[in-house]
Structure 1
């Protein structure tokens, strides 16, 4: 299994166009295997933590929801 590592410098260099392409891939959900989609999802999530202004229009793809563990 391959682990994707993205540095903060890499995240700082991400452009709006790159985020849009990533979001479009996730929205289309046309991956040859589920792990490719999961890798894109984790990348979008990492961008959201470091550069939330870029991900704001696509936040629905991350499905942040409150959990009730009671």
Structure 2
């Protein structure tokens, strides 16, 4: 069974550059008590990237997103 983490749009709308920087710092430090906390932050950063890509642009390397040619 796959669990999908959803982030309310209201939470995404209130995120600013300082919030994204803090989130990225936590991901870079990778000092979580369990892997699920890290995964939750990663999903949040990914959701922010889809909602407001300009905020996440400096931290795209944390998402490890690669373009795939599906053709």
TM-score, with structure 1 as normaliser: 0.85
CA RMSD of aligned residues (A): 1.9
**Matched residues, number:** 68
Partner of 1:10: 11
Q: How far off its partner does 1:42 sit? A: 0.3
Q: How far off its partner does 1:6 sit? A: 2.0
Structure 1, unaligned runs of 5 or more: none
Partner of 2:45: 44
Structure 2, unaligned runs of 5 or more: none
Deviations 1:1-21, CA, capped at 9 Å, x for gaps: xx7542112101101101000
Partner of 1:27: 28
